[in-house]
Amino acid sequence: MSVIYDRVALIGLGLIAGSMAHAIREGGLARETVGFARSAQTREIAREIGLCDQITDSVAEAVAGADLVVLAVPVGAMGDLAAEIAPHLKPGATVTDVGSVKQSVIDAVAPHIPEGVHFIPGHPLAGTEHSGPRAGFASLFRNRWWLLTPLPDSDPQAVERLSDLVRAMGAKTDRMEPAHHDLVLAVTSHAPHLIAYTMVGVADHLRQVTDEQVIQYSAAGFRDFTRIAASDPTMWRDVFLHNKEATLDILGRFTEELFVLQRAIRMGDGQQLFDYFTRTRAIRRGIIEAGQDTDAPDFGRAAKTGG
């Protein structure tokens, strides 16, 4: 692999930035990676494990001279971070983010980006329920989608260069309108996460079954919900607060469907349930055919989700 950017600054050293650091190093995709995180503790761990070539104690130092700056903090923190780094960005640099919501990040970040710096928002559809500087690994993005939502005036060459990096880290890339991205992700990721949080919360309320049996006999369905519901609380709080409209729209539709199924169960309408489950099964087959999951039993498999 060849060097795509001379100096890459990773701001926020959690799962996503950490995985980028590993993938960039493995592929020799940058001459130098520089990292910064807000807490001294995270910076210390990052130094200890050699996550980047250099960990700085100020964000200004990290972004100074960087050709690519990656904002990898929770969605709600992007705007303040952009304001803080703006005066220190190198002319001609690219700023991207990895936030799970796009329109609100664009609204918060774009006004701070100085003339002559390219802002190209992005979102890797890859993740795990783990977070922090030790959570990253080089293969996280392999065969996963990484959506870019360039602005109407984004420089095509800068977009192509960022796409090259994304592909070199093993991901597949596509471009999307920010609002469309937010609706698609509300269906495929955000609403499912909320449903998982709710289901685990329901089990938690039923104390008489949760204490022992739910944990002991947890079969794949509930167990998978608990994995999703273990995702980072800050990240997911911000996702829902910043993708409010689309998530509420999808949850409204979800509730309607749930009532339809609830009624079918109450009325003993087996045909309706059977037909419904036959349709949903076809969607699962489509996901497997698209290479986004495998057909193998998943006992203990290190499952990956997309935030």
Contacts with ligand NAP, residue ranges (CB under 6 A): 12-17, 37-39, 42, 72-75, 77, 81, 98-100, 123-124, 127, 131-132, 135, 232, 234-235, 239, 305-307
HSE at residue 295, side-chain half, CA atoms within 13 A, is 6
Do the beta carbons of residue 24 and residue 30 sit within 8 Å? yes
CA 256 centroid distance within chain = 28
Closest approach of ligand NAP to the CB of residue 219, in Å: 24
| Cα separation, 279 vs 177, whole angstroms | 28
Closest approach of ligand NAP to the CB of residue 225, in Å: 16
For ligand NAP, the closer of residues 37 and 200 by Cβ is: 37
For ligand NAP, the closer of residues 17 and 203 by Cβ is: 17
* Dihedral pair phi/psi, residue 3, rounded to 5°: -65, 130
Contacts of 148 (CB under 8 A, 6+ apart): 120, 121, 122, 159, 162, 163, 166, 173, 174, 175, 176
Closest approach of ligand NAP to the CB of residue 40, in Å: 8
For ligand NAP, the closer of residues 244 and 272 by Cβ is: 244
For ligand NAP, the closer of residues 78 and 159 by Cβ is: 78
For ligand NAP, the closer of residues 100 and 214 by Cβ is: 100
Closest approach of ligand NAP to the CB of residue 232, in Å: 5
For ligand NAP, the closer of residues 74 and 170 by Cβ is: 74
Residue 173: both structure tokens together: 């890339």
Closest approach of ligand NAP to the CB of residue 189, in Å: 8
Closest approach of ligand NAP to the CB of residue 37, in Å: 4
**In b/e form, how buried is each residue of 27-43, taking b as 16+ CB within 10 angstroms?**
bebbebbbbbbeeeebb
